[in-house]
Amino acid sequence: MTTILMLLMLPIGLYVYFGKEKKDRKVYQAVFDNFELNTANRTNLSNREKIELFEQMLEQNGYKIVHVTETSVKAQKKILSMGLMMIGTGVYIIGLFVYLLYYFYLQKPHEIIFDIHKPKENS
């Protein structure tokens, strides 16, 4: 029974990682890019208010604020990949432990930098 479960986890994990998570990562980043563009272009807000708005958005999304200046905010967050966890489970449970060790000790956090003076353009 366990072997069958692991055999099913590998293709499902490959689909989730390459089919879903890769696409969703672009959409996830686009949310922040659009918010940054809209906030930076709002002329009725002071720079401090724009920074506070972006800080609030980052904190609501689980990011840890690591650096704040008068014109920029830098935040980080590690993102757990369910697809990679499923792939790890599919290659004999040891792969799951290897991925978790990678996640906790080696994975670099996703980093977002918001700078008022360098807004990104809509693409």
What band does 123 get if pLDDT is binned at 50, 70 and 90?
very low
Phi-psi category of residue 111: left, alpha or beta, with phi > 0 → left and psi -120 to 50 → alpha: beta
Per-residue pLDDT of 101-115, as tens digits, reads 999 999 999 898 888
Mean pLDDT of the chain: 87
Longest dimension (CA), the chain: 62
d(CA 84, CA 90): 10
Per-residue pLDDT of 15-74, as tens digits, reads 999 999 988 988 988 988 898 888 888 889 888 898 999 999 999 999 999 999 988 899
What is the reported pTM?
A: 0.76
